[in-house]
Each structure stands twice: as C-alpha cells, then as structure tokens.
Chain A
Amino acid sequence: MTRIGDRIRDSIASVGPARTLHDLTLRAANRVVLIKLLKCMSIERVNDAFATCPKPYRALFLSAPMLQKFGRDPGNEMPEAFLDEALSKRDECFALLSGDRLAAYGWYSSGPTRIDPPDLVLHPGGRHIYMYKGFTHVDHRGRRLHAIGMTLALQSYLTRGFKGLVSYVESNNFASLKSVTRMGYEIFGTIAVLKAFGVPFTRASAGCRERGLRVAPAY
C-alpha cells in the first residue's frame, strides 16, 4: 500500500492531480475491460529546430534488403515477422545511419496499420502518413534523433504531395504526449477504444472524423 501511495504522490508531483486521477481511472477500468483513449495528432509543417541532421548521421528510406540485414540484429528491434508484415503493406522505414549501423528509425504507412490491441487497425485517411514504431538505438539516445528522423521524413512526404504525418499516443502516456508536442505535433482529436467480451468498439471524435482518421477492426 505504501508503495502505491508513494507512486501516486510522485505522479501528482510530476503531472498534477487531474492527470494522476485520469491515469488511475484508466488503470482501474482496464482491470475489467480493455479501454484506451488515443490522442490523435498530426504534424504538417517542418520544425526547423529538428531539420538539421548532426554529423556523422545520414538519413534515408531503407530498402528491403537493408531492413533484412538490420533485422538480423536483435538490438534493432525489427523481428522478421514484423518486417514481413510491414513490407507486405509497402510501409517505409526512414532511418538515421551512423556509418553502416542503424541509429534510429521510424515506420511510415499510408495504409491501414495494426495497432495495440492487434485486432484493430488504424486508417490514416486523406493524404496523411501514419508514423509508428519510433526507435533509437541505445548507443545513440539523447541526441534527438527520433525528432530529427521524423522531421526529415516529413520533409520527404511533403514534397511527395502528402499533407503531413499523423500518429497517436495513449492519453495517460504523459511523457510521450509532452515529447510529441515539443516536436511540433498538434492534437486534433481522440479515439476511444473499448474491448469487452472480445468485441472491440471504437468511437472517433469530430476532429478525427474530419481528417478521415479512424480505428476499425482488422477483419
């Protein structure tokens, strides 16, 4: 009990009482049914603060053989099954390389993409690209590589005629919400996901519906 009390006290100190209550409510509800509130966000303008890539990193979209090569290293967190699924959907991986080593990457999809829970897929809608699975290798953390990679990928997609990137963060993942806001993402709506007795239900807010962003069952 004391440990829980300490954690609540720490949470109130770091994110405030309202957010702590929100987090506790969601955690309690998830003991009964799966419930998630997905904060949906987009970025449509390049943030110049992240548009410069520090040396010696080079940024590029990785090809299938390059991905398979990097996937063989478990430290890169790209298992074969994940790669097979992503490549079959023609998703793209934009990465920062340090020499021939993988430093950071993010995946980008213009089509429906499986989320958590895996029986649901996110449809990015319109001319947006869904950004998912951001990763920075442990040797290269603390250099804002995720934000830089995402910004450079955004530049490329904008020149290809896309409107921007969309992504989501769970409403009680306060650290990530803060981080994406700093990168320049703007939250435009929420999608509520409820899964009870194995049946998923979703409801998108007006902002999400306007942009065509939705979450639907995978089948």
Chain B
Amino acid sequence: MKKSFQGIFTLLVLGVFLFPSIILAANFGIKPAYPRAENPRTDSIFVQTINPGELRSEGVKVINSTGEPKNLLLYARDSVRSSGGGFACKQLSEEPTSVGQWITFDISNLEEDIANIKLGEKANTIQITIPEGSEVIIPFNITAPQDASVGEHNGCVLIQEIKQNASDTGVSLSLRSGIRVAVSVPGKISRKIEFLNFKVENKNKSIYLMPSVKNTGNVSVDTTAEVKVKYFFGLPHRTFGGEFPVLRDEVYDFNFELKRPFWGGLYFAKAVFSYDSNENASIGVSSGEKLTKVKSDTVWFFSAPTIFGLIIEITILFIAIFVFAIWRLNKKKQKWIKKWTDYTVESGDTVEGIARKNKVHWELLAEVNKIKPPFMVKEGQEIKVPPPRKSPSTKK
C-alpha cells in the first residue's frame, strides 16, 4: 500500500516536471492571418497600400480556444471616431459605405472545412459555427474604388458572438472584438499634427490633463505625447505619455489622470507631441528621419492638498508661527536688555529685592548679570537693571 502510494506520487511528480502545462487562452477572437515580417504592425492590424481600382488579398484567422463551439458573426464595417479620438467601428446594423464596403469575404475556396460558414443576413457579414479548440482562416479582399482619394482610409473586421440577449431590462450588452484595417491610397502624402489646446480639470479628487491635437494631414500618424508636470519652482513632479494613433482629419483628446498631489500647491504642465512627418513613413514603418515635435502652451494649475497633507501643512505652519513668535520675542528681549542701566548694590540688597524694585523677574536679573547660585550679591557690586518705566504722566 505504502509502495503503491509512493509509486503514484513519484509518477505524479515526474509528470509535473516532464510535461509542462499546456496553456490555453480560453477565449475566441480574430487576428491577422498573414502578418508581414517587414512590418511588425501587421501582427495586430491590417495594413495595405492599394492603388485605386486594385485589389489586395488578406485573411483573418478566427480562433475558438474555448471548450465549446461558438456561433459567430464575422463582418466588415467602416471606422468611426470614438470620443476623445479613439478608434472604433460602426455597428453591425449600419451599412458600410467606405472601407467596410471595400472588404469582401471570400468563402468559396476555404482551405479548411472545419467550420460551418455561410453568408450572413446583413451586408458584408458571414456566419461561422466554429468547433471548440479550433481555428479557421477566412480570406478576404480589399478593393480600392477608382475614385478613392489619396491618403489613408480606415475600416474594421469584427467578430461577435450570436447570442440571445436574456436581459429584458436595463442595458443589454453585446460584446465584440475587432481589428483595424488601414488602407493607404498612394499619392501626395501629408503627415501633420497641430496642437489645439490644453485643458486642466479638477474632478473626483484628481486632476485631468487634457491636451488636444488635430491631424491635418491625409494619413493617420502615430503620435507620442509626453506631458510633464512640474512644481511651480521647476522641480519635476510627474510625467505622462504614450504613443497613440491620431487618425486623419480627427482631433485627439489625450486624457491623463494626475492623482491629487499629497502636498497640493501650484504646478505647471507642458506637453510635447512627437511624430514622423516624413512622407516616406507609414503605419509601422519609420522613415528614419528626426521626429517632428509640436509643443503645447504651458498651463498653470493649483491643486488642493490631500486631507493628511493639509493636516501636516497646518501643523507645520503653526509650528513655524510659534517658532517665529519665540524668535521675535527673544530679539525684543535682547534689545531691551541692552538698554539696562548700571546699578550699585547697596547694603541689604538681595537679588530678589532688586528685581522686585525694578519690576523684573529675579531669574532674568540673575541670568543677565550672570549671577550663579546661591544668587548672592555684595555691597558695591555693579549690576545691570532694567531702565525705569515711564509713568503715564511723564509720557505726556
């Protein structure tokens, strides 16, 4: 029994070490089927340069790595600007009129027959029933119309599960994923970004830094934004940034969140936008030339401190006021002591008696005259005493 247990345990241990676990991404989706090594960007999106009237072939890989078959809709649609300048795609219900219409799926000569594929009810849509743990490549063609204008045109290839919406109240959500299709029609290419404005908003215990730029060229431009926030005296506080695609003819509103600084105070921010303005550059391909930089205006803003920061600042302020008050009092005291006059100790005088006579504390009298314990004075000793105070009648 013991040997059996040991044996099974040993095999399990060996099994763990000999056969590393196979990792499955348990989802479904799409990705470009034919990425090109010379443009790494094609791993993630479709990028093509097409002359008017010409056709390019592409393919989208539909993957179902879940444990159950999936009924999916694969379709092409035009792109649409999402708020803030983000890239989004038109809905399944919207007829394509631009790049979405340039894309046609070719299901007549599929290499594999593992999925049940048929045309969908809506334009440029196909319906796929794909078994669990499988993938299929759906070819499609992109045909630029004869009247396609020079520059970049964007669309999408999307996938969406066919589901019955069970929710009868509230917002019923459908989920989909998509891949950008960027088609460039060659000609006179213009790559240009212009700074528009820089807004700062205080909201929700944070400060939102929102510079905006506009793409005035005819192709999208991958723009690197860098926003530097500095204290009013110039010391750097935070830097935000990132590279974002700014689509042609669109305004891009960056939105960086600065958590309220602990100490609060006066700050200023400035943004710099860098991009490759050379016409030989394209999506995923750099021209190798120096980047063009566009600078924003400098914006100043005030931030209230956090609660704890405010408490500490108030405490420090009180301590500082208290220390200053003590220092001022001490200065005044020193100035007053300099005005003390000479006094010759008489017979019977004591430190306490002299102090009382001159309306000053005996300890101060002893301190000024450096009289040490037992605080005794001798007849004829010269000491300093405060000047006589002027009576109200003499002040007049």
A binds B: no
Contact surface of A with B, Cβ cutoff 8 Å: none
